[in-house]
A and B are shown apart, each in its own frame.
Chain A
């Protein structure tokens, strides 16, 4: 997070993490498509010639915010392939929130787990703790065969703390819901840590409503947030505040 008082800007960094080919870039493309031209900048993709992400994708989103402070969201993806470990470590630096995009296919379960451990390691290398990081998990590719069942995911999600979303990013389904969920967690976390509401009059709810509308959602924010199939959207507090 960066606060520029002179420019009256709050910049927040969100990172889409996950194994190779799980649909991180597709999520960003869908977000880009859903957003109105005023809020969204160009989607920047640093990719190789075979369309695989080389370094990262970057989608800049700008919102008016409340309290006279505009909110700039920088949404990144990391390259999923194992060889780009150092790039992932660099991209995850300074992240304010992470969306973990998992591949729903049964055969990808192991890769999901490995990538998640990798995320944990890379956060640690940057002095960040996974348990303090606002995190949502998205099970993408729900339209494919041989996927982990809704029941299985719901059952496991109910035991965890991270909100879990189901999505078909290629059709844009569940993409905005996941994003709003991530933004909600991230902003609540930043608010609890830096008292954004008290000091700058930034209202998380107000921002969510603006983003929700700019991303073309017709449902109210509360309904969008309730798309999560498990976890909790309000329990996240910095660890030092506990007890």
Chain B
């Protein structure tokens, strides 16, 4: 499953059949090195790549060549010689001498790396100490050549023994080999680095796309779930309304008298129908809240009447269970910016819940207090935070019970839909498991917060904190 990119780079990296001299060395640096050798020994030298490209050349044209170029015969001979020298292949590790028409010599060496020839080094022309006379063959090249002029020019050619030249070549090749090795190493490191990065990138991309897929799938599932809930709730409600309506009519005797047993059965049908409807309405609310289609009808509302209303609505339920339900006086508190229907639903749910989990003789208390909450002034664009107050006036609505309480580790989870702290006690107390999750979402929709505190010595305290005014930026 290897990618093509990494495959190619590994081939380059390991089994590459051909390394180029020009890829491994920096030409400028090579020129400098060659120049310093020339400074030292004054013997002209050139370096060719394997393909015959001249990579470095510090040879100046010898004065004798300039003179020879003036005559046709010697010019042609010189040209032929230069071509010959250029095309000499010394083979791996070889060394070949090429005599010059002047009687001087060129020495050609193979430059090799990793057992392969990758270039050539040409030293010369130089003359050996024994070589002092102008050769006859040179004079024969052109009748115009003057031996008296040639002799001093010949003397200007650098003087070197064959051994010395081999010695120089060996050192030059040694230095070059080190440079080649370093260059090769750098080349491999770079390639490997790139290949590694590419490989890691590919891995990450694979993982990312898998995550993205999973995320998309989950989002789609979530949407389907909400749709399903909405549709099902709606479709269930319609026939249920008929069941409730007709059972009510039966119970009221509209269709004729019933005996006590029949009446009891029909009443049960009616009660259970109502219960079912409540559950369905809850589901509908929840799915609306989740899909964000529930719109809040916010306005400035007074708190005191709201608390009193909730308390009086649930007073019969509390009395039936022998629970003492009180709404503490909250007169004087300023109003808050909320949807009165939804806020009432929040308090009803919380209070009903509290009554449900409070044993006979216990107390459920509703109260309200002014407070502050941390403002969320960030409108998503950030900036300017220092200009805003980080405290926002708020109202704390508290429902306190003296019931069984909620263990710490359950506190965050009770707001999950269908979650129940303890199945057994809930069944005893009844309920859908949806109430708190709806409450949480409604409070969120109001930019508020809900938290659970412990009521000492036992019981729980649900505290809803709502901003008193609309958020300064988000409205």
Let me know if A72 and B181 touch, CB within 8 A. no
Chain A nearest CB, measured from B118 CB (Å)? 12
Interface residues as binary, B185-212 with A (CB distance below 8 Å gives 1, 0 otherwise): 1001100110110011001000000000
- Give the segment of B2-10, B239-247, B256-264, B313-321 that binds chain A: B2-10
Contacts of A60 in B (CB 8 A): 114-115
Distance of A120 from chain B, by nearest CB (Å):
14
- In whole angstroms, what is the CA distance A164 to B193 when docked? 34
Contact A11 B15, CB 8 Å, known A90-B192, A90-B196:
yes
A residues near B185, Cβ cutoff 8 Å:
44, 46
- Least distance between A74 CB and chain B CB atoms (Å): 6
Q: Which of A72, A91, A125 contacts B115 (CB 8 A)?
A: A72
Is A49's CB within 8 Å of the partner chain B?
no
A13: CB under 8 A from chain B?
yes
By a CB distance below 8 angstroms, the chain B residues around A91 are 10
From 73 to 89 in chain A, residues with beta carbon under 8 angstroms from any chain B beta carbon are: 74, 76, 84, 86-87, 89
User: What is the chain B residue whose CB lies nearest that of A42?
Assistant: B181
What range describes how many residues of B lie at the interface? Answer: 20 to 34
Shortest distance in angstroms between A79's beta carbon and chain B's nearest beta carbon? Answer: 10
A94 proximal to B (CB < 8 A): yes
B192:A87 contact, CB within 8 angstroms: yes
Given contacts A41-B114, A44-B188, contact A94 B10 (CB under 8 A): yes
In the assembled complex, the Cα of A9 lies from the Cα of B15 at a distance in Å of 11
The answer to whether B17 touches A4, judged by C-beta atoms less than 8 angstroms apart, is yes
Identity of the chain B residue whose Cβ is nearest the Cβ of A39 in the assembled complex? B115
B238 contacts which chain A residues (CB < 8 A)?
Answer: none
B14 at the interface (CB under 8 A from A): yes
With contacts A55-B189, A55-B192, A56-B192 known, is A93 near B7, CB below 8 A? yes
Complex-state Cα separation, A80 to B200, whole angstroms: 17
Q: Looking at the complex, which one of A11, A42, A55, A86 makes contact with B200 (CB distance below 8 Å)?
A: A86
- With an 8 A cutoff between CB atoms, is B127 at the interface? no
Question: Are the CB atoms of B196 and A86 closer together than 8 Å?
Answer: yes
Question: Does B196 lie within 8 Å of A94, measured CB to CB?
Answer: no
Q: Which residue of B lies closest to A4 (CB)?
A: B17
- Is B184 positioned at the interface, with any CB of A under 8 Å from its CB? yes
C-alpha spacing A141/B124, complex, angstroms: 55
- Interchain CA distance A46-B188 in the complex, whole Å: 9
Judging by beta carbons under 8 Å apart, are A44 and B14 in contact? no
Q: Is B1 an interface residue (CB 8 A)?
A: yes
Instruction: Report yes or no: A93 in contact with B115, Cβ–Cβ below 8 A.
Output: no
B192:A126 contact, CB within 8 angstroms:
no
Chain A residue nearest in CB terms to B17: A4
A125 and B1 contact, CB distance less than 8 A? yes
Hey, what's the 0/1 contact readout for B1-31 against A, CB within 8 Å counting as 1? 1100011011101110100000000000000
Interface residues of A in 119-136 (CB under 8 A from B): 125-127
Which of A4, A87, A94, A126 is in CB contact (< 8 Å) with B14?
A94
Chain A min CB distance to B94 (Å): 16
Q: Which of A7, A41, A46, A70 contacts B17 (CB 8 A)?
A: A7
B10 to A93, Cβ gap below 8 A?
A: yes
A110 lies within 8 A of chain B by Cβ: no
Q: Which residues on the A side are within 8 Å of B7 (C-beta)?
A: 93
Given contacts A44-B185, A127-B1, contact A94 B15 (CB under 8 A): yes
Cα separation A13 to B11 with both chains bound (whole Å): 11
- Per the bound structure, the CA–CA distance linking A39 and B84 in Å amounts to 33
Q: Which residues of A contact B10 (CB under 8 A)?
A: 90-91, 93-94
Nearest chain B CB to A5 CB, angstrom units? 11
Q: Which residues of A contact B2 (CB under 8 A)?
A: 89, 93, 125-127
Does any Cβ of B come within 8 Å of A58's Cβ?
yes
Which residue of chain B lies nearest to A56 when distances are taken between CB atoms in the complex?
B192
Which residue of chain A is the closest to B192 with respect to CB atoms?
A55
Are A90 and B15 in touch, CB under 8 angstroms?
A: no
Structural contact, B195 and A90, CB atoms closer than 8 A: yes
Q: Which of B9, B15, B17, B181 contacts A13 (CB 8 A)?
A: B15
Max count, chain A CB within 10 A of own CB: residue among B115, B181, B184, B199: B115
Q: Name the B residues within 8 Å of A84 (CB-CB).
A: 196
CB distance from B114 to the nearest CB of A (A): 6
B393 vs chain A, min Cβ distance (A): 53
Q: Does A2 contact B (CB under 8 A)?
A: yes
- Chain B 167-191 interface 0/1 with A at a Cβ cutoff of 8 Å (1 = within): 0000000000000010011001100
Instruction: Tell me the smallest distance from the CB of A48 to a CB of chain B, in Å.
Output: 11
User: Is there an interface contact between A90 and B199, defined as CB atoms closer than 8 Å?
Assistant: yes
Q: Which residues of chain B are near A55, meaning CB under 8 Å?
A: 188-189, 192-193, 196
Chain B residue at minimum C-beta to C-beta distance from A2: B15
Tell me which of B114, B181, B203 has the highest count of chain A C-beta atoms within 10 A of its own C-beta.
Answer: B114
Q: How far is the CB of B177 from chain A (nearest CB, A)?
A: 9
- Whether A13 contacts B14 in the complex (CB less than 8 A), given A44-B181, A56-B192, comes out as yes
Tell me whether A90 and B6 are in contact (CB under 8 A): yes
Query: Which of A2, A55, A74 has the most chain B CB atoms closer than 10 A to its own CB?
Result: A55
B188 partner, pick from A4, A58, A70, A87, beta carbons under 8 A? A58
A62 beta carbon closer than 8 Å to chain B = yes
- In the bound complex, residues from chain B placing their C-beta under 8 Å from that of A74 are 14-15
* B17 engages A93 (CB within 8 Å): no
A-B contact list, 21 entries, CB within 8 Å: A7-B116, A11-B17, A41-B115, A44-B188, A55-B196, A56-B192, A70-B115, A72-B115, A74-B14, A74-B15, A84-B196, A86-B203, A87-B192, A90-B13, A90-B192, A90-B199, A93-B2, A94-B11, A125-B2, A126-B1, A127-B1
Beyond A46-B189, A58-B188, 7 extra complex contacts between A and B, CB < 8 Å: A7-B17, A13-B14, A44-B184, A74-B15, A90-B6, A90-B13, A90-B196
Q: Give A contacts to B, CB under 8 Å.
A: 2, 4, 7, 9, 11, 13, 41-42, 44, 46, 55-56, 58, 60, 62, 70, 72, 74, 76, 84, 86-87, 89-91, 93-94, 125-127
10 closest A-B pairs (Cβ-Cβ)?
Answer: A86-B199, A55-B192, A93-B10, A62-B115, A2-B15, A11-B15, A86-B200, A87-B196, A90-B195, A86-B196
